[in-house]
Amino acid sequence: MKLAHINAAQHASPTDPLAEEIFAGLHATPKQIAPKYFYDRKGATLFDAITELPEYYVTRVEAAIFDRYRTAICAAIGAGVHLVEPGAGSCEKIRRLLPGLQPLLYTPMDISGEHLQASVARLRNDFPALNVTAQVCDHTAGLRLRAAGPDAPRVFFYPGSSIGNFEPDAAVEFMAGMRSAMDSRGGLLIGVDSKKDPAILHAAYNDSAGITAQFNLNVLEHLNDLLGGDLDTANFAHLARYDEHIGRIEMYLQCMREHTAVLAGERLTFVAGERIHTENSYKYYPAEFVALARRAGFAVQDVWQDDDSWFSLMYFSAA
């Protein structure tokens, strides 16, 4: 679904459906905000900047895997497919595969409509023969394609480390949704971040330029814009830590001082030291993730990794 905009002048109420979802998180213990609310126009731009940071290894390591194994990846998927990319964002990663894949249709999905349309415009300019049907939606709320598309194998493309934002059981449910949207000819090409030295992970989510901190704090500005509020980013600090026992990065906004704020006409109280949980990023050894995908109805076909085994691109066929 597209995030509805509720202006403060419209006297947004906590009973609006969008507000109900947000307040359910803010009234939880601990408080939480769903990661999808990172991605307004500014948030999408900040995330693109994160992917270019020297500490954020995912982008360059994944790119190296694409460059090294492009022929094998395209061969595994096959030509003439209906390619679907949930959370496509800037549509940059698909560019590495398009010349070799030549899909019958490419369907990028993203929650930020303005960002998606700008990305698709650039893509069409560079690949004029490409058949593109963009879909503005919240893919985490269910993978429902608005158009049936061609009678061709449907292959989902989910690069980066976004699958790590889901709790493991939720990741299985999400992948099962992909599986139910394809027939036995379908497949899934997915990026999976690996467990590694905690110091590397810490640096990636606490970059020296502070871009990840800006990205995390911007979620409060997005809530202000959506619901009409006065959440002040100056009252919070970015916090990211790696839990080695669970195998995940945990990202928070930590309240620096006791204060109150108004959102959708409701007054909220924040206590100094309390945290708002904004994101998890699970890391998996390849065998761990293969087991998750199997539960969702997929069979592993190929796994491509960098020399240090920091990251994996995996191709699964419909089991």
Q: Which of 20, 32, 45, 3 is nearest to 218 (CA)?
A: 45
Q: 195: which DSSP letter?
A: P
Give the C-alpha distances (Å, rounded to integers) separating 2 from 17, 239, 263, 273.
Answer: 13, 28, 20, 33
Bridge pairing between strands 236-243 and 248-255: antiparallel
Q: Which of 308, 203, 209, 287 is nearest to 249 (CA)?
A: 203
Q: Which of 198, 172, 196 is nearest to 290 (CA)?
A: 172
What would the pLDDT profile of 82-137 be if each residue is shown by its tens digit? 999 999 988 999 999 999 998 999 999 998 888 899 999 999 999 999 999 999 98
Q: Give the Cα separation of 111 and 18 in Å (integer).
A: 14
Residue 10: predicted pLDDT: 44
Q: 12: which DSSP letter?
A: -
- Give the residue ranges of the chain where pLDDT is below 70: 1-15
Note the CATH number of domain 57-196+285-318.
3.40.50.150
Residue 318: predicted pLDDT: 95
Sign of the four-CA dihedral 24, 26, 27, 31? positive
Residue 112: predicted pLDDT: 81
What would the pLDDT profile of 190-206 be if each residue is shown by its tens digit? 999 999 999 999 999 99
Q: 206: which DSSP letter?
A: S
Q: Do you know the residue count of the chain?
A: 319
> Residue 136 has which token pair?
């503005």
Q: Give the Cα separation of 170 and 177 in Å (integer).
A: 10
Q: pTM here? A: 0.88
Residue 203: predicted pLDDT: 97
